[in-house]
Structure 1
Amino acid sequence: MTQPNTINMTFDTSLVDLQQPHPSLNTSFSTTESEPSDAGYAQSTAQHPIETPELPPNPDSQPNQDTPKQSLSQTGPAPPKPSTPVHHIPTQEAYDAWASIYDADGNMLQAIDDLELSTLLPEFVAQIPKATPAPTSTLNMIDLGCGTGRNTAKLLTNTVLWPDQDVLESIHITGLDFSRGMLDVAAQKLGALVGTGTGRVTYQLEQCDCFPTVANASASPIPVLQNQNQDQDREEGKILGPVDALVSTLVLEHVPLHDYFATLAALVRPGGCALVTNMHDEMGKMSQAGFVREDGVKVRAGKSFIHSPKETVEEAQRQGFEVLTVREREVRGEDVERGNVGKRGLKWVGVKVWYGVLLRRVG
């Protein structure tokens, strides 16, 4: 399903600096070698996104045949290296192209997200039985912006996460994403994991516009699944949500706060829980999502909104959520020393790059 190019969404964020460093052109589909700088968009806010307008790729330049060659004996500073070409494309198109190498391109922010989720995800799951209507019931969960299924895989296979079966009989996870390429990778990954977990956890993957109000402010904030007739399905009680729990990691960067939490409020039932992680605004002022093509061209996806933890918490509260936990995380020297992140992480030591919040729907 082709989404409008104006939908500003991305799932599972990587890093491309707002400056243009000069990575090696033989780097094949790896995340850009990021370099923090004060020359980023330090004045941008959640209401003033980092724009990435549509630009054509740089054409191959040819030398001017009328320009005389310089003498070999001429001395002086070497000419500056040409900057790496940057190609700006719609977010959905970028993530479709990124999907096949997304899990293996050295994504530093994703590595930090995984580190923090190793403790935050169990804390989140521990809250979920309190949200279910009765013991031995089925818990319904949404992975909003599931990407390549990184978190759904954790939930599917980690047997120690879930309470005993006499407390929670079964768990069903619906993974939603707008990128067909990402969902295809997720389907292969999760299909290979079936039977390796508790057996109580099942899943389905669906393509949809996850945040309808971004493109149309008067639309319902509830995502409409591909080939779904919203009016008919609402009459038949098949409309998506509300669910007991929702997880959405590294998604918020590309969605305005109001639209993001309007969708969460519509999908999570009163008493239900949500886990949200995002790029920290300290990093957002210097980087945004993207990757490097095998020909050395940087690809930047859509536009990025800089949201601080404070702004995120305030909007969540405005839209009916109680804040249970807030965490912030900087890159540390030991993250690189222990191999938790690649050497590119050295450039971000001391910078807050990540935050996460646990929420409960009030009402």
Structure 2
Amino acid sequence: MTTPPAKPPAIAAAYDAWSAQYDHDRNPTRDLDAQVLPRVLGELRPRATLETGCGTGKNTAFLASISQSVLAVDFSSGMLAKAAQRGLPPQVRFAQCDLLQRWPADNSSIDLVSCSLVLEHLKDLSPYFEEAARVLAPGGHLWVCELHPYRQYAGSQARFAGASGDTVKVDAFTHHLSDFTAAAGRAGLHLRRLDEWCHPDESAALPRLISFLFQR
């Protein structure tokens, strides 16, 4: 397991601060992500799942329901502490991990890698996709669900109200649709499905999320 830094970098520190209220804030992006995940992955039955950027564990219970084992990792110790309080089944394990370093999984040992609302915080996507390809077993799947680039073009990014009431914007980087598919392709992953998702209350607005299902 990657040793966590002594002082969390800005993004981890922001999520540490956000962790106490993350599940209670109004957040249509978070809620829509939790809805679309089972719609796409509900028929899969992975033996081993690696959830990258598990946050407070909002998707971990579903992943545990379809998987024999789940390793849920996150950069933020605050988010991991909240996830551990959910009383999830015993096949779920948690670990702190920097997704830009080597992940705590052996080569070709994972059947499903799940990634929700994480990659906007990575400037370079290539290390993530290279690690996903390394740990995935042949035929394994990578699920990626992110804030839609259209929303990023319009200035949206992860944000929350800090303790002082000021809006805290978490560092984010804009990635075009082709950035995701190109990084996956370079890593040897093949696109099997692409979807754009609108929140039910925003039918006339820009798509809120974009999701990809890749396969090794």
How has the CA–CA distance of structure 1 residues 94 and 281 changed in structure 2, closer, same or farther, with 3 Å as cutoff? Answer: same
> How far 1:155 moved relative to its partner?
2.3
Aligned length: 211
1:277 aligns with 2:132: no
> How far 1:3 moved relative to its partner?
6.2
The equivalent of 2:182 in structure 1 is 314
1:244 aligns with 2:111: yes
Q: Is the 8 A contact 2:70 2:92 kept in 1?
A: yes
How has the CA–CA distance of structure 1 residues 307 and 241 changed in structure 2, closer, same or farther, with 3 Å as cutoff? Answer: same
Q: Is the 8 A contact 2:33 2:209 kept in 1?
A: yes
% identical aligned pairs: 31
1:1-363 map, 5 Å = 1-2=4-5, 90-123=10-43, 125=44, 128=46, 139-156=47-64, 158=65, 162=66, 171-189=68-86, 191=87, 193-194=88-89, 202-212=91-101, 222-223=102-103, 239=106, 242-255=109-122, 256-285=124-153, 286-301=155-170, 303-331=171-199, 335-336=200-201, 349-361=204-216
Q: Is the 8 A contact 2:106 2:135 kept in 1?
A: no
How has the CA–CA distance of structure 1 residues 110 and 349 changed in structure 2, closer, same or farther, with 3 Å as cutoff? Answer: farther
- The separation in 1 between residues aligned to 2:78 and 2:60, in whole angstroms, is 16
Q: Which amino acid aligns with 1:116?
A: V
Q: Is the 8 A contact 2:189 2:214 kept in 1?
A: yes
> How far 1:4 moved relative to its partner?
6.8
- The separation in 2 between residues aligned to 1:297 and 1:350, in whole angstroms, is 26
Q: Which ranges in structure 1 are unaligned for 5 or more consecutive residues?
A: 7-89, 129-138, 163-169, 195-200, 213-221, 225-237, 337-345
Give 3-state SS (helix, strand or coil) of 2:19's partner.
helix
Q: Is the 8 A contact 1:275 1:359 kept in 2?
A: yes
Segments ≥4 residues shifted beyond 4 Å: 3-6, 238-241
Q: Over alpha carbons, which structure has the higher Rg?
A: 1
Q: Which amino acid aligns with 1:152?
A: T
> How far 1:266 moved relative to its partner?
1.9
Q: Is the 8 A contact 2:125 2:183 kept in 1?
A: yes
Q: Which amino acid aligns with 1:312?
A: F
Q: Which amino acid aligns with 1:143?
A: E
TM-score, normalised with respect to structure 1: 0.54
Q: Is the 8 A contact 2:49 2:63 kept in 1?
A: no
- The separation in 2 between residues aligned to 1:314 and 1:142, in whole angstroms, is 22
Give 3-state SS (helix, strand or coil) of 2:120's partner.
helix
Q: Is the 8 A contact 1:223 1:240 kept in 2?
A: no
- The separation in 1 between residues aligned to 2:210 and 2:160, in whole angstroms, is 22
Q: Please say which of residues 256-265 and 352-361 is displaced more in the overlay.
A: 256-265
Q: Deviations over 1:127-158 (max 9, x none)?
A: x4xxxxxxxxxx111001111111111123x4
- The separation in 1 between residues aligned to 2:78 and 2:162, in whole angstroms, is 16
Q: Is the 8 A contact 1:92 1:179 kept in 2?
A: yes
- The separation in 2 between residues aligned to 1:144 and 1:319, in whole angstroms, is 17
- The separation in 1 between residues aligned to 2:118 and 2:126, in whole angstroms, is 14
Q: Deviations over 1:319-359 (max 9, x none)?
A: 1011111001234xxx23xxxxxxxxx5x942122111111
Q: Which amino acid aligns with 1:188?
A: Q
Q: Is the 8 A contact 1:145 1:178 kept in 2?
A: yes
TM-score, normalised with respect to structure 2: 0.88
Root-mean-square deviation (Å): 2.3
- The separation in 2 between residues aligned to 1:317 and 1:185, in whole angstroms, is 35
- The separation in 2 between residues aligned to 1:352 and 1:95, in whole angstroms, is 25
> How far 1:184 moved relative to its partner?
0.4
- The separation in 1 between residues aligned to 2:132 and 2:163, in whole angstroms, is 37
